[in-house]
Amino acid sequence: MKEAGVFCFLDEIVELKRNESITAFYKLKGDEEFLKDHFGVFPVMPGVLLLEALKQAASRLLAFSGDSNRPFYRMVNAENVKFGQFVKPGTRLRIAASLMKEEKPFRPPSLEASERFYFFEGRIDCEKGRALQASFVLVPVGD
């Protein structure tokens, strides 16, 4: 799967419900560049990259749902972020994101309101339990 940027954290999508939810898997192989610095003799996937995995899954849901002609999204807010299990090389992650609501901000009629806010709940689980859960907001990137 192609993703913008250097890293793609979606190996396969196993369930996609248009405008509702997505479930995907990613296996941390152990040869990823970021593991060299995080943390040497105890390599684990950085928490910010777990959030990136959630963003990628949610972005894929929005792209497949056809709600926007822009395929890329950025995370503008993350709340109630809870980290759990360490994600070590060889770990298979189950990445799940659910679209809770979509909002278009109010703008006076003279201004075009093209930006939408997509509110998600997400979680990442592995065989030992929950690695991450978070509420987050995405907005489309570009025109």
Nearest residue to 139 via CA among 75, 77, 81, 96? 75
Residue 38 annotated in active site? yes
The two tokens of residue 38 are 């995080």
Of the candidates 23, 38, 75, 81, the residue annotated as catalytic is 38
Distance CA 105, CA 5 (A): 28
- Return the SS3 of 34: helix
- With residues binned 3-state (H G I as helix, E B as strand, rest as coil), the percentages for the chain, rounded to 5, are 15, 40, 45
- Return the SS3 of 91: coil
Catalytic residues: 38
